[in-house]
Chain A
Amino acid sequence: MIRLPALSDLTEGLGNSLERFWAHTYDGKSAGLFRITFGAVVLYTASLNWVNADRYYGADGLLGEAATHASHWSGWSLLSLAPESGVFLHGLCASLVLASVALLIGFFPRIAAVIVYAIVTSLQHRNPYILNSGDRLLGMLAGLSALLPLANRFSVHALLRAKKGFPNRTPVASFGQRLVQLQIAYVYWFAFFSKIRQPRWLEGMALRDVLASPVVAEWPTYVDAPWVWALTYLTLLFEIAFPLLVWFRRFRMPILLSGLAFHTGIELTMTIPLFSAVMVSSYPVFLTDREVSVWGGRAWQLASRPFTRAR
């Protein structure tokens, strides 16, 4: 006769697993690396937003301020405080650039992340029609990243602490990092389940349409070769494999490298600004502190090898 485990054992086991997943402590190396990669993407976006500010968001730009009143949430924008003011708009764009620099170098990075989130969201409300999914993800990640220990490692604060001889900050619970991880995994999960409901994806022909579209393809070409069929299914395979396998140490590196290849392909062949960069910049959150140390060390060795040889 099979003896079933007691309900109390099951709930305790589940509780412990949840505890391990959400509240294990780490010293913030991966959060620090994420801050740098994500901060660089935010800085790039913020700079381009500023260059195009008058056209995208100005009172005399593509959309008059009145055109955005149709949206119920248009008032949830800092720009609604002074909708006609070019000075205020440029002040916000300058603040966004400064906040992204602060995020990149780790100078009060959590406050910087909140400022980035507030300004990016405000700009999105002002002109929602220029946005790609990457913009939306960037805003969301900026908001969620304020929950991460962004200042613990590789930051101005960490440098100052080290100079003064203070020890590193104490390890913190990982719940913020888990939330960002789940958010990224969910993007792939959702994309997979949206695609498998479409006949073109099931037939393996969807990428032919995408690569032939003169609107989204960088070099629109009608390709009728078997590799398009293979790429379509590989896309589906990657999008379901990522959210399932990235949690396991043995699969993590291959899946992250596949993601890097996948997004490089998107970036090179399609005109979807930002999305790939934001996704790849978020990958460090999937690494453990130890993985950052080991792989970072190896990468550093590889990068510095030519210089040590020269000496």
Chain B
Amino acid sequence: MKHSPVRLLCGAFVAWHISCELLTGASQPVKNWVKPLIGFYTDGLRMTNTWGMFSARPPNEEVVVLAETEQRRSVVLSTNYTSQRSGWSRILDVRMRKIQTYLKEESHRKNWGMHYLSYFCREALVREPSTRRVELWIFKPAEISDTGALVEPKVGSRVLKKNCTDGGK
């Protein structure tokens, strides 16, 4: 019983899982080296992760999706700032903050930013048929730096836009 095949299989799985978890948290060169071997388990089956949990400074930028109507009126469709979300959306829809915050990175905007804005085009057109386009803006608030100095806020900048005349396709 002590060396039964089931027990050996269990032992092998434990060793495999722990090794994969440790390697996922290893340095990038090590991860690149082992990825072909363990990638199916760590990324394909998604059985490991890293857990920084705010080890890095959390983001402060406000990422906003605005709609502009034919009357040149701007309407905020979505923001990643918590304080501006309704209590109901905090319960029902807790994930928008995450996805919208990703869009402060240019690589993400390139990969799927237009898909994201297309969705808001469709949403805005349902509510307000005169919507002309939607835009993604980033605002950098004032903050205290690591050295204790005040970092001045930056004027908001438009980083992406999409015309909604095609119905948001």
Which residues of A does B touch, CB under 8 Å? 19, 22-23, 48, 51-52, 55-56, 60-64, 66-67, 70, 72-73, 76, 121, 124-125, 127, 129-133, 136-137, 139-140, 143-144, 173, 175, 178-179, 182-183, 186-188, 190-191, 194-195, 197-201, 206, 209-210, 212-220, 222, 271, 273-274
B57 in contact with A209 (CB, 8 Å): yes
Interface residues of B in 73-113 (CB under 8 A from A): 80-83, 90, 92-99, 101-102, 108, 111-112
CB closest residue in chain A, given B61: A215
A194 in contact with B118 (CB, 8 Å): no
CB closest residue in chain B, given A124: B46
CB contacts (< 8 Å) of B92 on chain A: these are 48, 51-52
Bound complex: CA A115 to CA B146 (Å): 46
CB distance from B127 to the nearest CB of A (A): 15
CB contacts (< 8 Å) of A127 on chain B: these are 99
Bound complex: CA A217 to CA B129 (Å): 35
B82 in contact with A215 (CB, 8 Å): yes
Partner of B83, one of A186, A188, A201, A219: A219
Bound complex: CA A40 to CA B112 (Å): 33
B122 in contact with A175 (CB, 8 Å): no
CB distance from A203 to the nearest CB of B (A): 9
Partner of B46, one of A132, A139, A209: A139
- Whether, in the assembled complex, B69 has its beta carbon less than 8 Å from a beta carbon of chain A, the answer is no
- Whether, in the assembled complex, B17 has its beta carbon less than 8 Å from a beta carbon of chain A, the answer is yes
* Binary per-residue interface labels of chain B (30-58) against chain A in the complex, 1 for a CB within 8 Å, 0 otherwise: 00000000010001111111111111111
- Whether, in the assembled complex, B18 has its beta carbon less than 8 Å from a beta carbon of chain A, the answer is yes
A72 in contact with B43 (CB, 8 Å): yes
CB closest residue in chain B, given A135: B95
CB distance from B119 to the nearest CB of A (A): 5
